[in-house]
Structure 1
Amino acid sequence: MSKETIEKVVAAYFASMTAMNPEGWLENFAEDAVIYDPVGKPPIKAHEDVQKFFGLLFKFYDNLQISQDQVFIAGEGAAVKWTMRVIAKNGKNAVAEGISTFEINDSGKIKKMSSYWHEGEMIAQLK
């Protein structure tokens, strides 16, 4: 798989997250894709749980911006150091940083994503 293919799917993932676009987000995932976000929580299945996942985002956030600070491509995947900035429905702002790893299948779709970040610290900023 080419570096360009991996870069393209990872960039599309981040763009659809920032746009809070569930349909665009889902296009980046394989049918059997599993997401650990953050690692340590029970996994979600991208295609089965898309409405639940985005339902939570829409419930709590007015705005979500996530930038790709550094992207590292290796083999059939990537690791991305990112920064997320959110504005909650209550008007409060929060910032979180993390690293997500992406495993890409032969069709250029994400088959596994794992995100390493402290969700509780971000939630505490919004209270």
Structure 2
Amino acid sequence: MSTPVMPPAVLQFFQASQNADADAWSSAFAEDALFHDPVGTPPLEGRAAVHDLVVSVITGFSHFFGLTPTEAYTAGASVADTWHGAAITQDHRPVNWSGISVFALDDTGRIREARAYFDRAAFQAQVDAR
């Protein structure tokens, strides 16, 4: 499957997730970015908060395969992507989830705001299953 065409910061967001590179992943965001992960929870504020979340997610798994975009739709400085995620828990169980993310870019091309839509309860149930 080929990667959909999208702006550089959004492409960096997905590629860094697949490389489990917290520094590159968070640097796709503007310093004062907001990240709703998922929508309905209080947003993370700032690149440092995004970095902390990403580190906690990556290190929470024995292997984090990341988020793979499947489709991308760009309109001006906004991008909507469908994606699926995959990881392996510390006790070697697969976790798979999918969602849609909507990105708003700032005038430098970095992510100013990201809104992730996915079922966090279903994700967490897979992580917590024994």
Rounded Cα–Cα distance in structure 2 between residues aligned with 1:87 and 1:46: 28
Note the alpha carbon deviations across 1:91-115, whole angstroms, 9 max, x for none: 1111111000000011011000000
Deviating beyond 4 angstroms after TM superposition, the runs of 4 or more aligned structure 1 residues are: none
CA contact (8 A) 1:94 1:122 kept: yes
Q: After superposition, what is the alpha-carbon deviation per residue over 1:15-49, rounded to whole angstroms, capped at 9, x for unaligned?
A: 11121212111221111100001001111124231
Q: Structure 1 length as normaliser, TM-score?
A: 0.88
Question: Which stretch of structure 1 is more off in the superposition, 57-66 or 85-94?
Answer: 57-66
Distance apart, 1:51 and its partner CA = 4.4
Question: Residue 55 of structure 1: CA displacement?
Answer: 3.4
Aligned length: 123
Q: After the TM superposition, which residues 1-127 of structure 1 pair with which residues of structure 2 at under 5 Å, given as runs? A: 7-65=7-65, 66-126=67-127, 127=129
C-alpha RMSD over aligned residues? 1.6
Amino acid at match of 2:19: A
Instruction: Name structure 2 gaps, 5 residues minimum.
Output: none
SS at match of 2:39: coil
Taking the aligned partners of 2:106 and 2:58, their CA distance within structure 1 comes to 29
TM-score (normalised: structure 2): 0.86
Q: Which runs of 5+ in 1 are unaligned?
A: none
Instruction: Single out whichever of 32-41 and 117-126 deviates more from structure 2.
Output: 117-126
Identity of aligned residues (%): 24
Moved more, 41-50 or 94-103: 41-50
The answer to whether the 8 Å contact 2:26/2:48 transfers is: no
